[in-house]
Chains A and B, each alone.
Chain A
Amino acid sequence: MIPELGHFALILALAVALVQGTLPLIGASRNDDRLMALGRTAALTQAFLVILAFGALTQAYVTSDFSVANVVANSHSAKPLLYKISGVWGNHEGSMLLWALILALFGAAVAVFGAGLPDTLRSRVLAIQALIGVGFLAFLLFTSNPFERVFPAPADGNGLNPLLQDPGLAFHPPLLYLGYVGFSVTYAFAVAALLEGRVDAAWARWVRPWTLAAWCFLTLGIALGSWWAYYILGWGGFWFWDPVENASLMPWLAGTALLHSAIVVEKRDALKSWTVLLAILAFSLSLLGTFLVRSGVLTSVHAFAQDPARGLYILGFLLTVTGGGLALYAWRAPQLQGGGLFQPVSREGGLILNNLLLCTLTVTVLLGTLYPLFLDLLTGDKVSVGPPFFNATFVPLCAPLFAALCVGPFLGWKRAELWPALMRLRVAFIVAVAAALVAMTTIDSRSTLAALAFGFGVWLIVGSLWALADRLKQGTLRTTPRATLGMVIAHASLGIVVLGSVATSAWHTEVMQTMKPGDRISFAGYAVQLDKIEQVQGPNYVAERATLNVTVGGKPYTVLQPERRLFTVQRRQVAETAIQTNFLRDFYATLGEGDPSQGWVIRLYLNPLAPWIWLGAAFMAFGGFVSLSDRRLRIGAPRSSKTRRPTPQPAE
């Protein structure tokens, strides 16, 4: 009964979305208040209906209702409750429903917080948001119905893919989707602005918090995914330049660019049409990511079994959204004449450089990700583009970005002098060079490039904090705008991420050894002894657990217990790594296959600064949230917008 209710709610939601996607649009062009007011009600109704549908599916999972095909395929009664819930989005249908849910919630959020927006703009934004919703709801209902029943109902389900039964991955998809879908709001604002034929500072002040929020969630989502890959795949690496990873990185890069260009629109009334274009592209890249993951056109270590028909639908949808957005842009953008003039050397110039480099990085990742596809279509050759390609392109292109990143905040708006800005950063520069030299001489003399990159990381941290110190000369931490604080935190965090990635990739040590209980090896100054291998019983698995006793200089240091879990329902083995961290390095152990006669394969890694990668990313998102709490950006801020046209902001 409840699954049918969910299905019915989904159908109603599609109907409501169709109304919301058309009538307010007509209302906005005819200036009909009643039609425009409909958008708000429809958005709330649609959100309510999708919540209902999502709740129905969750209920089916939690109570293990095996008359629902989706639950049978992805759940099992013996599964812990957390994974019963995360199982809802741990599969294609459910994850698309989650996407539709977040989309509807964002729509409702615009309706609730958008009271201060001009009526026409708000109705148009809501309508565009609803049209995207129509695409996803129709996709769900016609190709991937999560509420399909099976008869007769089996006694138990097939269980969730064991690799996904992990707390990190339980929250990875919702965060990632909050990011992806967050850009839909930006897209809706961009298209609405094109329809209105007007982009002004008030528009930017609306777009920026949405972009920022989406960007924060995307940052967290990517970091969580990378962390998961680090500890579950057992390869000691944190980023594999896999198509699926790239799919989430591209919208992040474009979103980062958008975040920065929106500042120029807000503060200086310039770069308008470029910002609108970026908003369209950021969401298109989010959709492209979904398409790549869901269609299975690319070979990926993260690939799931897929259905080409669904891929085709998403491809069609992607082309409609991107093509429609770009066509509208080509038609209307020339009307968006930019305002503020500026010199090449200025804050605006710096932000343009930022955009230029970030877009180049995006294009590089896009090329590397799609090249195998093109080559296959053109010549039939099957190729893969792996980490060496990205290390040779992406990494060097980051250098100018990092170099310029600290300088930008020292440049004034409109016109600035480069040399005084550089002189103010001389301490940061000296510290960074010293750090690079120390890295080269004391840590590892072989890799000059790693030492250089390490220097860049230090430069980012010190240079960003220097900008804050410079501010504090004139005021206190309390009077510093939150947006500035957020910027400093996010920029410095990027440095932390760089340090973590460089140290882990370049300076880790690893060993692989076949060991029997009682064997002892020495590894990077530690003595590691395999005490025992035992069988343990988990809730829905049995595991082989190794106990590794680590001592240093004869004193006990730590005990690591990596496992190999055999999930009984799926008959699948999953390795569970054991990681001991002191925030300066990870001691990382995995247990391979083995038996008492031959011994077990044990792999040990010592990853310096590895935790910094994810801590840095978390700080970066925190910086974003700090900036989001700035009074100027507080949702609903543009009070003046009830009067039709907000006055353009004077230069600050």
Chain B
Amino acid sequence: MTPKRRRLWLLIGSLGTLGVAAALVLSALNDNLVFFYSPTQVAEKSLGPDRRFRLGGLVEAGSVQKDGQVVRFTVTDTNKTIAVVYRGILPDLFREGQGVIAEGALGSDGVFAAREVLAKHDENYMPPEVAKAIKEAGQWKEDKK
């Protein structure tokens, strides 16, 4: 086999693999992208119950109610609020007044049913999306950490 033909084989092989990979990636990206919305954006968008997304904001102070395994709380971006219901053990860093990201979908009653509430390693950490959402709602205080 000449080097030229070897290179041809290699090229065909690489293109084939990359093609398959690209097809997989594109179809997977179509189905599995999870968008991040703030409560304000959710209010603007009217999202259906089958649309999975991430909701981010601050856990409103005084809003957390626990009933056995079911936790209800309100997420706010200081402009709009959304009620959230979650069944499960909350991450250790979940606190009132702190940033939170919840993944799930809106129920028909307008309550966001969270399947996952994300934990953070560091209590000073503000998820960048949450910070941006609150900034856009016009309520950001720079030294609030």
Contact = CB atoms under 8 A, between A and B. Distances in A.
Given A344-B1, A514-B68, A397 B35 contact: no
Contacts of B88: 512, 601, 603
A365 to B, nearest CB: 10
Given A385-B32, A512-B69, A572-B123, A392 B27 contact: yes
A384 B52 CA distance: 11
Given A360-B17, A360-B18, A381-B35, A301 B69 contact: no
B93 interface: yes
A305 B125 CA distance: 5
B92 to A, nearest CB: 5
25 contacts: A161-B122, A233-B119, A303-B122, A303-B127, A304-B121, A341-B6, A342-B1, A352-B13, A364-B24, A371-B29, A382-B35, A383-B33, A383-B35, A384-B33, A384-B34, A384-B103, A385-B32, A392-B24, A392-B31, A393-B25, A397-B24, A514-B69, A592-B89, A593-B90, A603-B88
Indicate the size class of the contact surface on chain A. Answer: 35 or more
B54 A384 contact: yes
Interface in A371-391: 371, 381-386, 388-389
Contacts of A81: none
A342 B92 contact: no
Given A344-B1, A601-B69, 16 more contacts: A303-B122, A305-B124, A341-B3, A356-B17, A364-B21, A368-B25, A381-B36, A384-B103, A386-B34, A392-B24, A393-B28, A512-B69, A512-B87, A570-B123, A574-B92, A603-B89
A309 B134 CA distance: 22
B46 to A, nearest CB: 17
Interface in A501-548: 512-514
Contact of B10 (A352, A360, A385): A352
A514 B69 CA distance: 7
B32 A590 contact: no
A389 B89 contact: no
A342 B5 CA distance: 11
A163 B91 CA distance: 12
Contact of B9 (A344, A360, A364, A573): A344
Q: Which of A382, A514, A570, A601 has the most CB of B within 10 A?
A: A382
Interface residues of B, number: 48
Interface string A390-401: 001100110000
Given A385-B34, A388-B32, A512-B69, A573 B92 contact: yes
A280 interface: no
Contacts of A368: 25
A598 interface: yes
A367 interface: yes
B74 to A, nearest CB: 19
A353 B68 contact: no
B36 A389 contact: no
A385 B33 contact: yes
A397 B24 CA distance: 9
A592 B86 CA distance: 14
Nearest to A163: B121
A386 B32 contact: yes
Contacts of B132: 382
Interface in A560-616: 570, 572-575, 590, 592-593, 598-599, 601, 603
B54 A598 contact: no
B36 A593 contact: no
Nearest to B2: A341
A513 B93 CA distance: 21
B29 A389 contact: yes
Interface string B85-101: 00111101100000001
Contact of B6 (A342, A364, A386, A574): A342
- Most chain A Cβ neighbours within 10 Å, of B13, B18, B88, B121: B121
Given A299-B101, A341-B6, A392-B24, A383 B120 contact: no
Interface string B101-135: 10100000000000000111111110111001000
Contacts of A55: none
Contacts of B93: 572
Contacts of B90: 592-593
Contacts of A164: 121
A389 B24 CA distance: 9
A138 B81 CA distance: 46
B121 A302 contact: yes
A161 B125 CA distance: 12
Contacts of B123: 570, 572
B89 A234 contact: yes
Interface in A449-507: none
Closest 6 A/B residue pairs (Cβ): A382-B36, A592-B89, A392-B28, A388-B32, A514-B68, A389-B32
Nearest to A400: B17
B14 interface: yes
Given A384-B34, A384-B36, A360 B92 contact: no
Contacts of A342: 1, 6
A640 to B, nearest CB: 29
Contact of A356 (B14, B27, B68): B14
B6 A296 contact: no
A343 interface: yes
Contacts of A388: 28, 31-32
Contacts of B32: 385-386, 388-389, 392
